[in-house]
């Protein structure tokens, strides 16, 4: 959308990310010197595609630890800033991530509703999620924070193995949620309030700015609640991000922050299928029990210090502590009887997590020369310790039968008491280094290496059994970028990574004889600009192999081997542009071939090969589109579409979740410089679609059509 003197907020919207970048460089002298040592292609804010999810010339905190822009990073990096997140009415953190190429969702209440899929690999063990670069350790496949986009400056995604940057569990991708920080240069005050379908109410306030020359603050709080579109679908959430920054000198800065949220979440575990088909009469029925519970409480303290030591040397240290308390109590499995007249409920499950993660990350960055060539180097030490007390009522008994069309929820019953089950401790120490060397004009070599030492101790509180395992993975990445002109660059990269076989805080297959799974990726691609239409584009081709999956011995199913292999080969294309003044387009598509190459599954006590099958929950075709048109100085119409291809719902590939396309529209009106309104409709066609599921038995359905009216103010 072309800047207009009659529409100042739209003008601010376009340049916001570029301004934030420039302000950040001004506040951090080492960053500006780093850019001088390793110059990015100079592109003004006006030449960057408005609303772009690429941001090729904006320094990224996720693609590398060197502050490189995506254009000079030999990897696939995407980002979306806070103004664009608001324009698209994306209130949930993971709703932003699934707008990037090849990233989709695989949610369930048991995994916090936050699990993602990328490049053929699914789940929290393969797609890492971070807050400001801090890896959130996965407990039993679960991550429950963050969930609100209100405190975000941006969301960034690095696709492909990211273990060299963020450690274990990132073979598919790493998603980094970057929060808004205190500002010393100006004061910002903003607020929003919205009303929507099914009694949905949301609101928040954000304040940040200087207290005095050496002190600044930021306060972002929001809350939301809804009655839900089916029974037990209601939720009540509160979210907060508070920070105080002190700058006693131009070379030294401290930032203290406290983030977290409470989430009394929806208690929906899926809709049973009748003979493998969804009965439309049941799409608004929830088969959970009346006293069901899904609650999360997450809190994170952080203290960060940044010091400019001499010319071209910067030291950074961050100390943090994360505490998560989670509680589930639900009937989670529902199946029709053969006659289709009754639904059997089972898996009466109660689980509690008491998880704490304490860590410290230190790094030093050096800008200078190596053999007469411009060079930037970073090295550091990453340490964290995570503990989990897992309480449950295993082996999860309890059962009931209900009438699906005259449903009475009943209450939670279990023949097994809820007691502490195990206590796990994971302690990791890692050394990492990364370097960017300018080999010649237009040529850059980027390489990284990480060595971890991980010790997992698992104490079974019921049997007294204690097992330990030590892992020592070494992961790396090396790539080159060639920029023959100001409008195009080419890159190639080879990288490795590791994933846990099961949850990061549990031992695979109940024993300590197996190692981490290992992955490797080869990727080539190109990135460029289209100055005539203020456009940007990226193209990536890759192949990833993941080895050491658990597989059964074909001759004796009782014997488990670590010989399995899974692979994916794919292509991703993204483009953002302003083809005509006032009309913007942001689009991407991904195609891949994902397969189990060597994998045996035990069926009725017999090992059955699944080699050649598509992995569970992985779509091989995805696409996203967001286009906006300013048809009057104060009016803007936005239209979005998200396509997710069919996904297999079992390893035998005998059942699958159908493909779906969801359309969104929004109409925005700028009442004044400080107040605007938007009316958004999600799932415009009110289609029924499955976001995850279990075979031909049960689907977790996405939200129906919803309408939301939002007011946003700046004061």
Tell me the pLDDT tens digit for each residue of 403-426: 999 999 999 999 999 999 999 999
Task: Name the β-bridge partners of 536.
Answer: 529, 576
pLDDT in tens, 643-670: 999 999 999 999 999 999 999 999 999 9
Q: HEC states along 86-116?
A: HHCCCCEHHHHHCCCCCEEECCCHHHCCCCE
Separation in Å, CA 685 to CA 589, 688, 701, 705: 22, 9, 15, 7
Contact 224, 91 (CB under 8 A): yes
- Element spanning 257, H or E: strand 252-264
Rounded average pLDDT over 175-183: 96
Quickly state the pLDDT bin for 48 (edges 50, 70, 90): low
Contacts of 411 by beta carbon, 8 Å cutoff, 6+ apart: 289, 290, 291
Q: What local confidence, expressed as pLDDT, does residue 128 receive?
A: 95
Q: What local confidence, expressed as pLDDT, does residue 50 receive?
A: 65
Rounded Cα distance between 100 and 90, Å, is: 13
Separation in Å, CA 320 to CA 93, 168, 383: 21, 19, 11
Token code pair at residue 523: 């990727």
Q: Spell 9-46 as b/e; 16+ CB within 10 A means b.
A: bbbebbbbbbebbeebbebbebbebbbebbebbebebe
Q: What local confidence, expressed as pLDDT, does residue 501 receive?
A: 82
Separation in Å, CA 617 to CA 49, 116, 118, 141, 690: 33, 10, 10, 15, 11
Whole-number average pLDDT of the chain:
91
Rounded Cα distance between 114 and 89, Å, is: 18
Phi and psi torsions of 14, nearest 5°: -70, -40
Rounded Cα distance between 628 and 586, Å, is: 9
Task: Name the β-bridge partners of 656.
Answer: 648
pLDDT in tens, 485-518: 999 999 999 999 999 987 788 888 778 888 999 9
Q: What local confidence, expressed as pLDDT, does residue 505 receive?
A: 87
Q: Is the pLDDT of residue 18 over 60?
A: no
Quick one: fold of 70-340+353-714?
Maltoporin; Chain A (2.40.170)
Task: Name the β-bridge partners of 329.
Answer: 293, 350
Rounded Cα distance between 174 and 167, Å, is: 10
- Indicate the domain borders of the chain: 70-340+353-714
Contacts of 406 by beta carbon, 8 Å cutoff, 6+ apart: none
Rounded Cα distance between 62 and 70, Å, is: 9
Contact 112, 516 (CB under 8 A): no
Enumerate the H helices of 211-305 as residue ranges.
none
Longest Cα–Cα distance of the chain, Å, equals: 79
Q: Spell 314-330 as b/e; 16+ CB within 10 A means b.
A: bbbbbebebebbbbbbb
Separation in Å, CA 569 to CA 221, 522, 540, 592, 645: 42, 10, 11, 5, 16
The structure's pTM equals 0.92
């Amino acid at each position: 959308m072309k800047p207009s003197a009659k529409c100042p907020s739209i003008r601010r919207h376009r340049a916001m990310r570029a301004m934030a970048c420039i302000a950040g460089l001004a506040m951090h002298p080492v960053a500006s010197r780093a850019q001088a040592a390793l110059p990015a292609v100079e592109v003004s804010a006006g030449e960057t595609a408005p609303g772009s999810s690429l941001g090729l010339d904006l320094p990224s905190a996720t693609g590398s630890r060197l502050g490189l822009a995506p254009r000079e990073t030999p990897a696939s990096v995407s980002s979306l800033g806070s103004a664009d997140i608001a324009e698209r009415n994306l209130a949930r953190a993971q709703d932003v991530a699934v707008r990037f190429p090849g990233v989709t969702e695989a949610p369930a209440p048991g995994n916090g509703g936050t699990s993602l899929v990328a490049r053929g690999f699914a789940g929290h063990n393969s797609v890492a999620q971070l807050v400001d670069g801090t890896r959130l350790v996965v407990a039993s496949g679960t991550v429950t924070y963050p969930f609100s986009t209100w405190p975000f400056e941006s969301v960034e995604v690095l696709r492909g193995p990211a273990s060299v940057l963020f450690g274990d569990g990132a073979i598919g991708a790493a998603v980094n949620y970057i929060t808004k920080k205190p500002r010393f240069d100006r004061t910002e005050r903003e607020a929003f309030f919205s009303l929507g379908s099914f009694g949905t109410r949301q609101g928040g306030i954000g304040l940040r700015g200087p207290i005095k020359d050496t002190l600044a603050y930021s306060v972002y709080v929001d809350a939301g609640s809804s009655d839900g579109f089916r029974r037990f679908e209601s939720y009540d959430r509160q979210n907060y991000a508070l920070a105080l920054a002190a700058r006693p000198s131009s070379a030294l800065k401290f930032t203290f922050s406290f983030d977290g949220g409470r989430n009394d979440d929806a208690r929906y575990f899926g809709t049973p299928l009748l003979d493998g088909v969804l009965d439309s009469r049941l799409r608004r029925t929830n088969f959970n029990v009346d006293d069901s519970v899904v609650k999360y409480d997450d809190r994170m303290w952080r203290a960060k210090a940044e010091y400019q030591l001499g010319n071209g040397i910067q030291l950074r240290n961050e100390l943090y502590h994360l505490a998560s308390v989670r509680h589930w109590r639900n009937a989670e499995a529902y199946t029709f009887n053969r006659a289709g007249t009754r639904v059997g409920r089972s898996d009466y499950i109660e689980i509690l997590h008491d998880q704490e993660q304490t860590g410290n990350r230190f790094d030093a960055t050096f800008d200078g020369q190596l053999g007469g060539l411009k060079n930037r180097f970073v090295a550091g030490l990453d340490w964290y310790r995570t503990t989990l007390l897992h309480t449950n009522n295993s082996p999860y008994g309890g059962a009931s039968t209900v009438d699906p069309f005259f449903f009475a929820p009943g209450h939670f019953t279990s023949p097994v008491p809820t007691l502490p089950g195990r206590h796990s401790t994971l302690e990791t120490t890692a050394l990492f280094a990364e370097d960017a060397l300018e080999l010649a004009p237009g040529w850059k070599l980027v390489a990284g290496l990480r060595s971890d030492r991980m010790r997992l101790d698992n104490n079974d509180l019921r049997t007294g059994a204690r097992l330990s395992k030590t892992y020592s993975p070494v992961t790396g990445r090396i790539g080159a970028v060639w920029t023959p002109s100001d409008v195009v660059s080419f890159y190639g990269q080879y990288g490795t990574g590791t994933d846990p076989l099961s949850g990061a805080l549990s031992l695979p297959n109940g024993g300590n004889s197996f190692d981490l799974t290992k992955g490797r990726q080869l990727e080539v691609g190109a990135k460029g600009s289209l100055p005539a239409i203020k456009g940007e584009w990226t193209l990536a081709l890759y192949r990833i192999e993941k080895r050491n999956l658990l597989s059964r011995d074909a001759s004796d199913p009782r014997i488990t081997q670590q010989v399995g292999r899974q692979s994916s080969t794919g292509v991703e294309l993204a483009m953002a542009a302003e083809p005509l003044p006032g009309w913007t387009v942001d689009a991407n598509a991904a195609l891949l071939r994902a397969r189990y190459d060597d994998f045996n599954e035990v069926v009725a006590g017999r090992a059955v090969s699944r080699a050649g099958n598509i992995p569970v929950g992985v779509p091989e075709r995805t696409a996203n589109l967001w286009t906006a048109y300013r048809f009057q100085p104060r009016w803007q119409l936005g239209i979005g579409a998200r396509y997710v291809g069919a996904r297999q719902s079992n390893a035998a590939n005998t059942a699958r979740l159908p493909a779906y396309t969801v359309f969104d529209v929004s109409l925005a009106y700028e009442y004044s410089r400080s107040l605007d309104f938007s009316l958004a409709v999600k799932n415009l066609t009110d289609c029924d679609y499955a976001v995850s599921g279990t075979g031909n038995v049960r689907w977790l359905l996405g939200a129906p059509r919803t309408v939301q009216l939002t007011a946003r103010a700046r004061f």
